[in-house]
Structure 1
Amino acid sequence: MELEAIPGVGAKTADALRSLDDPEAALERGDVAAVAGAPGVSEGRAARIVRNAIRARHDDPGGFLATDRAREVYDRVLALLQERAVTDYASQRLRTFYPSATDSRIREANEFAERAMARDPDPAVLDALVGVEPLSRPDGLAVRDRCLATTDAERYSAARETFPELSVEVVEDARGLADLARGYSTVVALDEAFVGVEVDGDVRVEPDALDRPEEVVPERVLSFFATNRDRIRAAIEVHQTAGLDAGVDLDELDAALAQLESDGSVAGDDELDRLSVAVDDLDAAVSTAESVANDRLREAIQEQDVTIEGADLLSLVERGAGVDSLLSRELADEYAEAVAAARDHLVDALDLKSGEAEVAKRAFGDEPTFPVEHDAEAVSRLREDLTAARDRRAAERKRDLASTLADLREPTRDLVNDALDLDVELAIARFANDFDCVLAERGGRGFDIDAGRSPLLDVAFADVDPVDYGVDGVALLSGVNSGGKTSTLDLVAVVVVLAHMGLPVPAESARVPEVEELHYYAKSQGTLDAGAFEATLRDFAGLTEGAARKLVLVDELESITEPGASAKIVAGILEELHEAGASGVFVSHLAGEIRDQCGFGVTVDGIKALGLEDGELVVERSPVKDHLARSTPELIVEKLADGAAADGGDGDDGGRGGAEASKAGFYGRLLEKF
């Protein structure tokens, strides 16, 4: 897919996306986190880019959510899904599920949802997911101990681009290589012309180095794995706990990670550790060795009785001899033992091997002196040898480990991505479990919901009464105040939105119409002024065009103007939608009046009120077909009439009984008006 072909992706954004390792793959799998890693792309924008890429792939024009209330229902449903995600990645990825009218997209999402619903949201797996995050690229990697060298300007530019972590130098000849070798541990020459040239130092002629960047800079691989080590190990735990198939040997990967320090250096190598400690402790060991020698020699001098005859003393003075000559003559053996002790301490303290020990012994000479002092040049040579050995060992270990990890890099990406995608699936599975969901069918003109329960109500889901409701074409829904008309309309909207997202719906079974747009109009707050009323009528006038592809849900449209005019207006709208073949439900307290005004036999359904108990309304939540529901005032008048009639027939107080009978008559006459 061409990046610029994605709606909303211009040349600048496309260039930013191309900085990713594989932008097409990230878009294909809906990886919002990876897309958000592009420069200047926020997570919100990344989700929009991924959604638009999905739409482009399915030739989906979008626009399913046609009103503010429809979008609000989607936002609330999406929030319920996101609440069940463990990782930020899954939360963002869920935003790429959107209601669509395109069959291929819905089928794709259905397949994902079916796999998800088969998952077991094991708490142990959810706990393991806490540590999983998308893999990130290390920043600011710089390698200071080696450089690249070339005589060619074009090759220089290519090397700079291929190896941003290294210094790249232009040289004219072997002398230039020699100069670089004095400043770097390793010099990699890129020109074949240098083959056979002998230069002091670690100079390697590798004309194909540009084709083997991870061998030349193993730190590139090591830094990637060191940066993401904890995330990878968390993904390993997820796979092991969930029993997922992995495209990589998890034990091999974990063992390789165990050899890696957090800074990208190699761990777990005894020889490298020995050399590193020797370099770090060299000065301290030399100082202690001096002390060992001097303490031994001082003790020997204190215990030794030295006798010098006058002629010998005169001879020493005449020759200008000092204490060194005296030591050489009188304490030669003791001095040799002191120096031997110093050498042994240095070798033992640094755990030096035979070749290194020979160099170390030169740090203390055989010529007697007091106090005993180390040979700075010999110590410097020992330091150079140990440092070179350490660096060689480290480079060798880095190359070996990088070679192992390089082969594991792509499988590791898949490992982490699979763990993150599992979280997306588990979020959907948890949503389906928490709200007793099934996948809906699509087809027909209207909808049919069996035992549906809205997750948007402000009560515990277990306490929500199930609702059965179906409509073929357009219908009016009547009912008392607080009887559940709006929540029923919300349920229909939730089921339709989720079904067109390709996700499970909260019902025992459901069928929704194959529509392209959902028009859900919330209850208006008060009567509209003339301008707003006119704008509302213009909105409904537009619904009739292509109405067969629309589902229209309207909550108490009569509140936009006077009741008498409202009934006529709603009746006219219903007539237009009916003739256009639309599907929809209009909630209204004026259902009877609207029915009388309609030019066709509009269906009137009702949420049946069973009465009042202790001042609380009792209703049958599932709408009854072809039933005009009673109003709340009617129920209250009926309750008063029944109560007055009962009171009028009790007791012997004729005066009180007559008053109650009078009230009963009043209430009865009011009741007849309904």
Structure 2
Amino acid sequence: MDLEEIPGVGAKTARALAELDDPERALRTGDVATIARAPGISQGRAARIARGAIRLEHDDPGGFLATDRAREIYRDVLTLLQERTVTRDAAQRLETFYPSSRRSRIEQARAVARDALERDPNPDVLAALEGVEPLVEPGDVRVRERCLATTDAERYSEAREAVPELSTEIVDDAQGLAELARGYATVIALDESFAGVTIEGDVRVRPDALEEPAEIVPERALAFFARNRDRLAAAIDVHRAAGLESEVDCDLDALEAALERLEGDGTVAGDDELDRLRRAVDDVDAAVGTAENVANDQLREAIQEEDVTIEGSDLLSLVERGAGVDSLLSRELADEYAAAVEAAREELCDALTLDTGETEIARRVFGDEPTFPVERDEDAVARLREELTTAKERRASQLKRELAGELADQRETARGLVQDALELDVELAIARFAADFGCTMPEFVWAGESGAAAGTSEPDIGFAIEAGRSPLLDEPLEAIDPVDYEVSGVTLLSGVNSGGKTSTLDLVASVVVLAHMGLPVPAESVRLRRFDALHYHAKTQGTLDAGAFEATVRQFADLATGGAGSLVLVDELESITEPGASAKIIAGILEALTENGATAVFVSHLAGEIREMATVDVSVDGIEAVGLVDGELEVNRSPVKDHLARSTPELIVEKLAGEAAEDDAVANGGEPVGEQFYDRLLEKFE
């Protein structure tokens, strides 16, 4: 795929997309989250790019939504869908569903919608989805206690590119390697020539190191999984709650267990030995101090209880030799001192839970030569701390390598788990929308197309809606009267004020938009043709000035000459100018639309006048008011075919005539007086 061929993608954006691991897959599947990981591309921009890629795939020219009101309808129904997502990414993913005139795209989206209607949006799945987000890269990972070393400049460049997390150094010989070993905890030599060379420090000869990055820099894999640990855990919960069968081969239990061993900072948890070493390193000074106190307390008590007798000649001899209390301890309290030191050593080893090798080092912290007070050997303490720290780092590195080995090859698996969960959120939003608005999948009549489905014997069908309820009405579904309406060709829709003409147009527009998005529609049954475009002209507020009027007429001129295959919905176009002129203009527009084969519904209070002026047969449907009850209209919301609906004024005059007849009968013994006036008015409506 040539990225610059995608509508809206220039050279700069194409370069950013090319940095993704598999941009073509992301674009082909509408993976907004992955596209948004490209440098400088936001989520909203990613959704537009994904739409552009879909259009390119289906050779879709776009422009289905031909007017502002048509675009408003799309945004309104899309918002209703997005409100039913749990994750922000799924809401953005729904932006890739757009009304298209291309059958291949409609069918592609319908396949997704059919699967979605099989989904069960149960509360456990929705709750689990709350923690799912697209996976992110952890940023630059730097490891400072480890380095790579080589004598070859070409190998040096290769190592820097393959393992940027570690410093790479060039050395001339074994002496240079030894110098590095004094500055780094671990040095990994990439040259086979260093094999067998003995160098003090942790120096490993690994000519294959660049082929096994998880071995030499396990932090790479661990940082990714640590950064995304909670997101992956949530995705695992979603898969289990939904019984989701992923396309990726993944042992959820094994992955979950590995994640539980990983701390948020990328270190490994849940290992008793590492925990012991960490505590020991942290507690060395405190444990030595406590052990020192144990020895001194025990020795002090022994001295207090011991009755020591020194003859004069012995005391003189000790003084002449410069001996002090240490000599007295050695002579008189050797056993007590040895016991006190042993108690200190046992206390230190027990407090730090040291193993056999560490115990040997720890015992040197307190010497055998008697002193009072008993004092630690600082060099021995430092040696113990160094030994414990080295053991801790060695154990941590081993665990990192083991865990990284388990996780290194699961990065794409992890992405697949999260992607599947986010796709499920999209499907559940469609399912919830369908349930909330009583939706069904529409049936398309693919007239005039190769491979047309059954039913193409009806090429003149526009749309046929049974029990439709507009999702745009701010009413509970059960409070909305269902509407049946079928149109083929060009039709005028008449009806009383507030009878539901505009909401009927909104219903038709919503059904057509959703159907061309490939999604379920709010009705019990819908059959429709594939339209090339939707032209929805909303009601104009007030008479237009000359310039605006001219622009409006130009729009219809373009539509009349190039609108074949379009659906045209117009709400009270007569408001653009004087009623007499409006009727003539609308009649001329309807004539042109009839000739080019468009499907159109024009709402108008001048339906009768327009029909009389038109030179072609124009159907007139009516939303009929049953009557007035307590001042409120009772309306049959479903348009009646080939019926010019009575206006609200006619109904009011008819009501007044009936009331006047009753009043005159009471007042004048049955002789109608006021009734005659109303009857005369009613005759004007005939």
TM-score range, shorter chain: over 0.9
1:313 maps to what in 2?
Answer: 315
- Is 2:659 the partner of 1:643? yes
| 1:492-507 pair list within 5 angstroms | 492-507=508-523
One-letter amino acid matched to 2:684? K
Q: What is the distance in 2 between the residues matched to 1:18 and 1:390?
A: 42
Which deviates more from structure 2 when the two are superposed, residues 443-452 or residues 382-391?
A: 443-452
Greater CA deviation, 454-463 or 146-155? 146-155
CA distance in 1, matches of 2:668, 2:537: 56
Other structure's SS at 1:605 match? strand
Q: Which residue number corresponds to residue 586 of structure 1?
A: 602
Q: Which residue of 1 aligns with 2:499?
A: 483
Q: Superposed, which structure 2 residues align to 1:105-124 within 5 Å? A: 105-124=105-124
Shift of 1:259: 1.1
In structure 1, the residue corresponding to 2:96 is in which secondary structure? Answer: coil
RMSD (CA atoms): 1.5
Aligned pairs (5 A) from 1:106-185: 106-185=106-185
Q: Measure how far apart 1:405 and its partner are.
A: 1.7
**What SS does the aligned partner of 2:673 have?**
helix
Structure 2 partner of 1:261: 263
Q: 1:2-21 residue pairs with structure 2 within 5 A?
A: 2-21=2-21
Alignment of 1:67 onto 2:67: yes
Q: CA offset at residue 481 of structure 1?
A: 0.6
Equivalent-residue separation in structure 1 for 2:565 and 2:605 (angstroms): 27
Q: Give the stretch that moved more between structures: 194-203 or 156-165.
A: 156-165
Deviation at 1:153, TM superposition (A): 3.1
Q: Structure 1 residue aligned with 2:466, among 429, 444, 450?
A: 450
Matched residue SS, 1:262: coil
Distance 1:549 1:202 in 2: 77
Q: Distance in 1 between matches of 2:408 and 2:245?
A: 21
Q: Distance in 1 between matches of 2:639 and 2:10?
A: 50
Is it true that 1:241 corresponds to 2:241 in the alignment?
yes
Aligned-partner Cα distance in 2 for 1:318–1:157: 73
Match of 2:540 in 1: 524
8 Å CA contact retained: 2:561, 2:592: no
Please tell me the residue identity of whatever aligns with 2:598: A
Q: Give deviations 1:7-45, integer Å, cap 9, x for gaps.
A: 212222222223334332222221212222222212211
Q: CA deviation at 1:458?
A: 1.8
Cα offset, 1:156, TM superposition = 2.6
Deviates more, 1:443-452 or 1:600-609: 443-452
> Are the counterparts in 1 of residues 444 and 528 from structure 2 also a CA contact under 8 Å?
yes
Residue 133 of structure 1: CA displacement? 1.3
Q: Are residue 577 (structure 1) and residue 593 (structure 2) matched?
A: yes
TM-score (norm 1): 0.97
Letter in 1 for 2:141: L
Residue in 1 that maps onto 2:225: 225
Q: Which residue of 2 aligns with 1:459?
A: 475
Aligned pair partner of 1:668 in 665, 669, 679: 679
Describe the SS at the equivalent of 2:143. coil
Amino acid at match of 1:438: T
Say which is worse superposed, 16-25 or 266-275, in terms of deviation: 16-25
Q: C-alpha distance in 2, partners of 1:171/1:14?
A: 41
Task: Give yes or no for contact 2:468–2:482 (8 Å, CA) kept in 1.
Answer: yes
Deviates more, 1:403-412 or 1:423-432: 403-412
Distance in 1 between residues matched to 2:53 and 2:399, nearest whole Å: 43
Which residue does the alignment assign to 1:361?
Answer: 363
Q: Which amino acid aligns with 1:449?
A: I
1:611-630 aligned within 5 A: 611-630=627-646
Residue 654 of structure 1 aligns with which residue? 668
Percent pairwise identity: 70
Work out the CA distance in 2 between the residues paired with 1:4 and 1:150: 42
Deviation at 1:278, TM superposition (A): 0.9
The residue number in structure 1 matching 2:385 is 383
Aligned to 2:37, what secondary structure does the other structure show?
coil
Report the alpha carbon displacement of residue 314 of structure 1 after superposing the two structures with TM. 1.4
What is residue 39 of structure 2 aligned with on the other side? 39
Q: 1:544 is paired with a residue of what secondary structure?
A: helix
Q: Which residue in 2 is equivalent to 1:281? A: 283
Cα shift readout 1:135-189 (whole Å, capped 9, x = no counterpart): 1111242222211122333333332232232222222222221122122221112
**1:99 aligned partner, one-letter code:** P
CA distance in structure 2 between the aligned counterparts of 1:471 and 1:571, rounded to whole angstroms = 18
Q: Secondary structure at the match of 1:633?
A: helix
Match in the other structure for 2:24: 24
Deviations 1:264-318 (A, max 9, x none): 1111111111111111111111111111111111111111122211111111111
If the length of structure 2 is used for normalisation, what is the TM-score? 0.95
SS of 1:362's equivalent? Answer: helix
1:84 corresponds in structure 2 to: 84
**Partner in structure 2 of residue 425 of structure 1:** 427
Cα separation, 1, equivalents of 2:151 and 2:646: 95
Question: Residue type matched to 1:670 in 2?
Answer: L
Q: Secondary structure at the match of 1:552?
A: strand
Q: Deviations over 1:300-337 (max 9, x none)?
A: 11111222111111111111112211211111111111
> Quick one: which amino acid aligns to residue 565 of structure 2?
R
* Unpaired segments ≥5 residues, structure 1: none
Comparing 443-452 with 587-596, greater Cα deviation is found at 443-452
Supply the distance in 1 between the matched residues of 2:111 and 2:138 (Cα, whole angstroms).
36
Displacement after TM superposition at 1:370 (Å)? 1.4
- Runs of at least 4 residues off by over 6 Å: none
Gapped regions of structure 2 (runs ≥ 5) = 446-458
Pick which of 185-194 and 567-576 moved more: 185-194
Stretch deviating more after TM superposition (133-142 or 418-427) = 133-142
Contact 2:263 2:269 in 1 (8 A): yes
Letter in 1 for 2:595: E
What is the CA-CA distance between 1:415 and the residue it aligns to?
A: 1.6
Instruction: Establish whether residue 595 from structure 1 lines up as the match of residue 606 from structure 2.
Output: no
Specify the SS of the correspondent of 1:149. Answer: strand
User: Which residue number corresponds to residue 448 of structure 2?
Assistant: none
CA distance in 2, matches of 1:2, 1:649: 86
SS at match of 2:20: coil
2:336 counterpart SS class: helix
Question: How far 1:412 moved relative to its partner?
Answer: 2.3
Tell me the CA shift for residue 348 of structure 1.
Answer: 0.7
Q: Equivalent residue for 2:436?
A: 434
Give the secondary-structure state (helix, strand or coil) at the position aligned to 1:138. Answer: coil
CA distance in 1, matches of 2:53, 2:205: 46
Query: Tell me, what secondary structure is at the counterpart of 1:154?
Result: helix
Q: Where does residue 325 of structure 1 map in the other structure?
A: 327
What is the rounded CA distance, in whole Å, between the counterparts of 2:661 and 2:680 in structure 1?
13
Q: Which moved more, 1:211-220 or 1:105-114?
A: 211-220
- 1:429 to partner: Cα distance: 0.6
Q: Is the 8 A contact 2:661 2:675 kept in 1?
A: yes
Instruction: Give the deviation of 1:215 after TM superposition.
Output: 2.3
Shift, 1:669, TM fit: 0.2
